[in-house]
Structure 1
Amino acid sequence: MKPQRSRLVLVRHGQTDYNREGRLQGQVDIPLNTTGAAQAQRLAAAVTADPPDVIVASPLQRALATAQVIGRVTSVPVTTDPAFLERSFGDWEGLRGEEIRQRWPEEHAAWRAHRTVEGVGVEDRPEVAERVAAGARRLLQEHPGKMVMVVAHGAAITLGITALIGEDPNGFRGIAGLENCHRSVLEPLQAAGYEGLMRLLSHNLPPSFA
């Protein structure tokens, strides 16, 4: 029998009030709102057709609560891993984009241009990308041939995918952000010379997609 190939499913958490209000969340620990909880339920119902073998969540409650809904429906235990925390946005967390632009115009311009942002505690893009990618590679090594689901955050997932497909987190803009409770699926490349890299099979699948 041909061995089963490993799969990595990256899920963004359900909606929060900060999402609805257009505020930058970062590592502020914001809970799901009513809409976000309903999104998690729809996603859990959809993945029962092909449930994950492993579920790991960011420790932040919006990701953990989303993962726990999926875990209850699929009877898969949920663990947490800080490798999948959202990108830290330092002094900007809790603010809207226009507030940031007005108060830190130069830093905001650097952020929008995917350059390093100095002086306000924003975690650098390559640092986040490698943190998430390293965590994903480790999980796949620990669970060969399994479907590993990671429930995390928009910026962290986008940057992690960028690193996993071998692109530059500072320069590459080919990965759009995930919507709430949407998911992306990747698998490791098997060819020699591509160790640690992955293929993006699907991106931004909605919560109701089975």
Structure 2
Amino acid sequence: MTRLLVWRHGNTDYNAGGRVQGQTDAPLNARGRDQAAAGAALLASLKPDVLVSSDLSRAHDTASALAALTGLSIKSDARLRERHFGEWQGELLTDIEARYPAEYARWRAGDPSPGSGIESLDDLAKRMLAALQDAATLAPGGTVVVTTHGGAARQGCGALLGWPNEAIRTLGSLHNCHWTELRDRTKRTGGTGWQLMAHNVGVIGEH
């Protein structure tokens, strides 16, 4: 059966400072590079066959830590980018709450399209679903590691599992350099498709 490991990138100064990244190309910081190296050591033991990554540097550089251990090349896919956060990109969450109180409240409540130019959850799910499905075809019956972003990972995994937005919201956010494991059990079970096997897997004590 095909195994899909959806891996979030390492820490950035935006993460550490409570700043919205979205599709801003914020690089890994020193902690993020250390996280990537530690996470890559665990993932390498799972013997991945294919590496696919968002083209944003924080994801690609995280994937590079695994590529260095496995000798695999990285296939870049812009569809794996984080959700686009419109007017909020690069801003502190505290400032966003003060400047956009209505939109912020809708976003916190899970509104799929809260305004301020933020990409809708439906649009995010569609591009992430297509990217994950395409990644899975690169190693049928093998293990594919997909390096992406927190919000994109959650929405993409939920879409692959066929969950509605209300259910996807119950899935906790991935910690930096942690991953979700999905397996396509179609052949074994006669048509049940993708199943969630594990979530927020990574180095113990590293968030």
> TM-score under structure 1 normalisation?
0.91
- The offset of 1:207, in angstroms, is 3.4
CA distance in 2, matches of 1:198, 1:22: 33
Give 1:188's aligned residue.
184
CA distance in 2, matches of 1:170, 1:201: 20
Does residue 141 (structure 1) correspond to residue 137 (structure 2)? The answer is yes
Aligned positions, number: 202
Aligned Cα root-mean-square deviation (Å): 1.6
Does residue 89 (structure 1) correspond to residue 85 (structure 2)? The answer is yes
CA distance in 2, matches of 1:172, 1:45: 29
Does residue 156 (structure 1) correspond to residue 152 (structure 2)? The answer is yes
Q: Structure 1: which amino acid aligns with 2:3?
A: R
- Unaligned ranges ≥5, structure 1: none
CA contact (8 A) 2:175 2:200 kept: yes
CA distance in 2, matches of 1:146, 1:208: 26
Alignment of 1:13-52 (within 5 A): 13-52=9-48
Q: Structure 1: which amino acid aligns with 2:141?
A: G
CA distance in 1, matches of 2:22, 2:137: 28
SS in 2 for 1:83: helix
CA contact (8 A) 1:129 1:169 kept: no
Q: For residues 70-125 of structure 1, what are the alpha-carbon distances to aligned partners after superposition, in whole Å with 9 as ceiling and x for unaligned?
A: 1011111112001101000011011222211111111111111111122x210001
CA distance in 1, matches of 2:92, 2:190: 45
- The offset of 1:47, in angstroms, is 2.0
CA contact (8 A) 2:80 2:152 kept: yes
Does residue 109 (structure 1) correspond to residue 78 (structure 2)? The answer is no
CA distance in 2, matches of 1:170, 1:98: 26
Percent identical: 37
- The offset of 1:146, in angstroms, is 1.3
CA contact (8 A) 1:114 1:171 kept: no
SS in 2 for 1:186: strand
Alignment of 1:113-124 (within 5 A): 113-115=109-111, 116-118=113-115, 120-124=116-120
1:39–1:158 distance in 2 versus 1, CA, 3 Å: same
CA contact (8 A) 2:97 2:104 kept: yes
- The offset of 1:208, in angstroms, is 5.8
- Unaligned ranges ≥5, structure 2: none
Give 1:71's aligned residue.
67
Task: Name segments (4+ residues, structure 1) moved above 4 Å.
Answer: 191-194
1:41–1:82 distance in 2 versus 1, CA, 3 Å: same
